[in-house]
A and B are shown apart, each in its own frame.
Chain A
């Protein structure tokens, strides 16, 4: 019955809604954290789920995994109903909450992995193979016998990921997995996730405030704002939707006055008395080459760079537009 309804999608929601009663001074009011979310994710996709704090990201994840009971609407994850089928679903989903730990605080990492292997009823061979794979990929070897409470944040996050992925889940949900990590740790984590997806065809759903995560990991983006889906598509499409502009930066042979009168481009700023100038242009209406040609008509260009739209800015525009 479940598989008939699921029809192959790994996540399928229809009008998914969750309300909370919140105390506001003396009064109680109803807060709609997720509001009529309808979305479908196919196996193998990598989806970035982004939105401001309080937009409803974590609430959605908790409903997808059977932790929270929806107020209204329908949800199927891996073809299962998350709340009644919670334990069956848990065998197919791996979740990392960046702010919560699923490791045993007092025990060595190795011990946590062994307990989780037992919890997921892995055979001895499965357990050994998968543990060896994760230890190698995530470089856990050096701290495998260290109690979790003595790990650094970067080490702990790697161990958390290993713990969530030990049972080779079809769907991996990461709730701000790179929060607080340094650049190198973020980079390694992303590389691991890309590799994991390539090797096992795992579906990824991740929430993040780090746009680097989205750019490098995701081929589809969902933007949620005030509980509603504000955007569903790819990254370039998102930039186009909000009309984000690209920026051409030119280094000139000699200082010239601000290049204000160019066709299709607007002058943003000048540095070093006009030696370096930043020009914004709309990628829908003109091209970097045309703008460059226009600049070359007025000054000699020594060097140039094109700045891609800043995704933080893109998202900010979406929030601003829907407010």
Chain B
């Protein structure tokens, strides 16, 4: 058991180190995050002001919190659907993964989580800090939200990796998963709360979003971290995330098992 934990821990560390190899790319990502963050500030602040200073529970200060937390998370959660694994399935490199005495899904998630955690350093934290500095934001004073928020953030990272994993292993059947990846990109950003807080959606669209794992990737961690809705609400969101994680992880296991029977290693 301890030895198994060491295996995945080492893979997580490897992901972390891998991501650290590309510092310039991280800097570019940060600049993009900040630019789009300012754009979102301009549009959403105007909307809040047009609504008379308050919109579905958001004022400009809490809207700023939403904007910078979402921009900060963007480097660490996968809302574009692209993965190494999908490429590895497509070119047959996944054969090498199957030669290792590890579970494909667990190994992939550990590596992706490691990469995501590293991205918090050059992209996540600076986005939030610079946003707070330049625009200002409201953060909760109760430490419970930081504790629950950290858990929620980590869950969001793993749920996102486990959900894109489903897109990647669909390649066992489809080979080319780009169509599915684009669908994921459109749906996850929109329904995950990247563009506007889900509270701004009409009721039916909120219901649609709630039927997908996407809010638990971005919107829920933001809500928990910003302390909107109180402690009980935050705890409820974390529990819901756990349920989503269990669901997508189980689906990933089932798809991997079924896909292994279908696998035809591409490229000889």
A19 to chain B, nearest CB (A): 11
Contact B268 A119 (CB under 8 A): no
Contact A115 B14 (CB under 8 A): yes
B133 to chain A, nearest CB (A): 32
Contact A90 B264 (CB under 8 A): no
Contact B95 A97 (CB under 8 A): yes
Contact B17 A111 (CB under 8 A): yes
Contact B21 A102 (CB under 8 A): no
A 50-79 to B, binary, CB cutoff 8 A, 1 in contact else 0: 000000001000100111110000000000
Which of these, B14, B93, B96, B265, contacts A68 with CB under 8 Å?
B265
A82 to chain B, nearest CB (A): 10
Contact A118 B263 (CB under 8 A): no
Whether A86 touches B98, Cβ cut-off 8 Å, given contacts A67-B263, A68-B264, A107-B18, is yes
B242 is an interface residue with CB less than 8 A from chain A? no
* B contact residues around A111 at 8 Å (CB): 14, 17
* B contact residues around A58 at 8 Å (CB): 268
Contact B101 A87 (CB under 8 A): yes
Contact B18 A95 (CB under 8 A): no
* B contact residues around A118 at 8 Å (CB): 6-7, 9-11
A 236-273 to B, binary, CB cutoff 8 A, 1 in contact else 0: 00000000000000000000000000000000000000
A7 is an interface residue with CB less than 8 A from chain B? no
Which of these, B9, B101, B268, contacts A91 with CB under 8 Å?
B101
B 1-25 to A, binary, CB cutoff 8 A, 1 in contact else 0: 0010011011100100110011000
B183 is an interface residue with CB less than 8 A from chain A? no
Contact A83 B14 (CB under 8 A): no
* B contact residues around A99 at 8 Å (CB): 267-268
In the bound complex, what is the Cα–Cα distance between A277 and B17 (angstroms)? 64
In the bound complex, what is the Cα–Cα distance between A104 and B19 (angstroms)? 12
B92 is an interface residue with CB less than 8 A from chain A? yes
* A contact residues around B103 at 8 Å (CB): 87
Whether A107 touches B21, Cβ cut-off 8 Å, given contacts A68-B263, A102-B99, A121-B3, is yes
Whether A114 touches B10, Cβ cut-off 8 Å, given contacts A121-B3, A147-B21, is yes
Contact B10 A65 (CB under 8 A): no
A88 is an interface residue with CB less than 8 A from chain B? yes
* A contact residues around B260 at 8 Å (CB): 69, 83
Whether A100 touches B101, Cβ cut-off 8 Å, given contacts A20-B264, A118-B7, is no
Contact A107 B264 (CB under 8 A): no
Which of these, A100, A104, A121, contacts B95 with CB under 8 Å?
A100
Contact B14 A62 (CB under 8 A): no
B97 to chain A, nearest CB (A): 9
Closest B residue to A92 by CB, please name it. B101
Contact B265 A67 (CB under 8 A): yes
A 16-27 to B, binary, CB cutoff 8 A, 1 in contact else 0: 000010000000
B42 is an interface residue with CB less than 8 A from chain A? no
In the bound complex, what is the Cα–Cα distance between A95 and B96 (angstroms)? 9
In the bound complex, what is the Cα–Cα distance between A83 and B265 (angstroms)? 14
B27 is an interface residue with CB less than 8 A from chain A? no
A73 to chain B, nearest CB (A): 16
A175 to chain B, nearest CB (A): 9
* B contact residues around A62 at 8 Å (CB): 95, 265
Q: List 15 A-B contacts (CB under 8 A).
A: A67-B98, A68-B263, A69-B260, A69-B261, A90-B101, A99-B267, A101-B96, A102-B99, A106-B22, A107-B14, A119-B10, A119-B102, A120-B101, A121-B3, A121-B6
Residues of chain A touching chain B, judged by Cβ–Cβ distance below 8 Å, are 20, 58, 62, 65-69, 83, 86-88, 90-91, 93, 95, 97, 99-102, 104, 106-107, 111, 114-115, 118-121, 147
